[in-house]
Amino acid sequence: MATNRTFTMLKPDSVEKGHIGAILEKINASGFRIVAMKLTQMTKSDAETFYEIHKERPFFGELVEYMTRGPIVAAILEKENAVEDFRTLIGATNPADAAEGTIRKLYAASIGENAVHGSDSDENAAIEGAFHFSGREMF
Ligand code: UDP
Ligand code: MG
């Protein structure tokens, strides 16, 4: 069932560099409603579970290290066509390939440290949102 919701994380590099406000401004300006949001930090086990699909990839260890090194902003966002529109707003995984004006083009340092997460399907958006938030934290 399409829910018109997606899940995002402003990754540790975005928090470290003071980019939370600028990224949230772009998210708001693009018409997303914030359903849930918090500053939180993933444990190693959280990150290994969250990125389990990538566990055989050569970058998995670095990815877990990066995603657990400091706090993130986790959020659930709502908009018509949320998953696809948010992927368009954040841009390609590698900022070198990301379109002008996208969040990753503006704020990502590299393919590894790429500023933000965006769910890749409605199904994963629901799973990832439920990983970070209880029902009473969603509005
Ligand atoms: N990643 C990486 N090296 C790569 C591909 C991905 O370090 O060659 C990291 C990067 O932080 C990326 C995350 O792993 O955001 C998940 O990869 P995915 O292919 O799902 O990219 P995304 O959906 O985030 O664009
Ligand atoms: Mg992905």
Domain that holds residue 104: 5-137
CA Rg value for the chain:
14
Contacts of 43-49 with CB under 8 Å at 24 or more apart are 43/68, 44/68, 46/131, 49/131
> Considering the entire predicted model, what is its pTM?
0.97
From 62, 63, 121, give the residue whose CB has the most ligand 1 atoms within 8 Å, as the site to mutate. Answer: 63
Torsion of CA 8, 72, 68, 11, to 10 degrees: 60
The whole-number pLDDT of residue 135 equals 96
3 state DSSP class of 37: strand
The whole-number pLDDT of residue 134 equals 98
- Between CA 91 and CA 26 the distance in angstroms is 13
State the CATH number of the domain containing residue 43: 3.30.70.141
**Protein residues with CB under 6 Å of any ligand 1 atom:** 54, 59, 63, 93, 111-112, 114, 117, 120
pLDDT tens per residue across all 139 residues of the chain: 557 999 999 999 999 999 999 999 999 999 999 999 999 999 999 999 999 999 999 999 999 999 999 999 999 999 999 999 999 999 999 999 999 999 999 999 999 999 999 999 999 999 999 999 999 999 9
The count of domains in the chain is 1
- Looking at the chain, how many residues does it have? 139
| 86, 102 Cβ separation under 8 angstroms | no
Q: Which of 9, 18, 24 is nearest to 133 (CA)?
A: 9
The whole-number pLDDT of residue 2 equals 57
Place of tokens 């050569």: 58
From 65, 68, 114, 119, give the residue whose CB has the most ligand 1 atoms within 8 Å, as the site to mutate. Answer: 114
- Between CA 4 and CA 63 the distance in angstroms is 28
